[in-house]
Structure formats: C-alpha cells, structure tokens
Amino acid sequence: MASLAVRYSEFQRLNAEILAISVDSVYSHKIWNEIELSNMAGVGMPFPMLTDENGSIGRAYDVYDEQHGKDLRGTFIIDPNGLIHGMELLAAYIGRSSEEILRQLQAFQNYTLSGELAPADWHPGEKTIIEAIEKSGQIWKEWKPKKENPT
C-alpha cells in the first residue's frame, strides 16, 4: 500500500484511480495511515481507503476468506464500465509490485487505444502484437521472449 501511495501521481497521470478496501474499521485505517503509512512512505493516504467490515465487497469479488473473516490481498484493473480486465490475488506474505500494476494498467490502456496485444514482459514503447486472427501460428515471426541478461 505504501508503494502505491508513493507512486499515486503516476496512476493519476494514467487517469486511473486506486481504492484500498479491507475489513478493518475506519478507525483502524486512520491509525494505520497516521502511524504506519506516514512513517513508511512519508505521505498520508492519497487515495480512498474503504471499509468492508461485513465482507460484502470481498464476497462480490470472490476474495473474502470466510474462515478468517478478511479479504484476500487482491488487485483488480476495472474499466469505467465496471468490467474487470486484470486480477491478481496474493497471499498476505507476498508483497505487491506497484511497478507491475502500472505495467498491467498501461498494457490495458494501450490495447484499448490501439487493439494491440502486450506480449509477456512488455513495457510501453516496446513492440506489441497486432490483434488479428490471421496472426495465429505466426506470432513467433514478430515476437520472442526476452532472454536473461548475461552475468
């Protein structure tokens, strides 16, 4: 969350909004923001932190853990029409990557504008794959996976 807070302006430049949602109370969020986040990131929470105390939001997105009474750690890329284009669930002990979330958002936005597919490990400015049924079986001519950097 701290990493997303620090990089929030990058998401705003992409016309994206971040919402943080957990089963914790508004008061827990306030204390976490004032003590933890401000000390970790040097900023307060720049985006909304919503409470899902009864788990209804988590249930709607199928990320609510009934046994533990909490939402799983998830990231969703949702378009303005409410369609989910990306979803990642991580165990609590695996940290999110703000870099990867930004990359996925940029790949989605690039596809929306151009209809071009982002291959594995794609970053803005790199070659994409033109979406066309006739490309099936021919993509290897246009794209190959990045190789490991020699050390």
Confidence at residue 102, expressed as pLDDT on a 0 to 100 scale? 97
CB environment 118-146: b (16+ within 10 A), e (fewer): bbeebeeeeebeeeeeeeeeeeeeeeeee
Same-domain check for residues 91 and 21: yes
For the chain, what is the domain count?
2
Same-domain check for residues 117 and 92: no
Average pLDDT score, the chain: 89
Confidence at residue 135, expressed as pLDDT on a 0 to 100 scale? 63
| Helix or strand run (H / E) with residue 43 | none
Confidence grade of residue 110 (pLDDT, cut at 50, 70, 90)? very high
| Helix or strand run (H / E) with residue 74 | strand 73-78
For residue 82 the two structure tokens come to: 């409410």
User: Which tens digit of pLDDT belongs to each residue from 34-83?
Assistant: 888 888 888 888 999 999 999 999 999 999 999 999 999 999 999 999 99
Same-domain check for residues 85 and 27: yes
Same-domain check for residues 41 and 76: yes
User: Which tens digit of pLDDT belongs to each residue from 1-41?
Assistant: 889 999 999 999 999 999 999 999 999 988 888 888 888 88
Same-domain check for residues 91 and 107: no
Confidence at residue 145, expressed as pLDDT on a 0 to 100 scale? 84
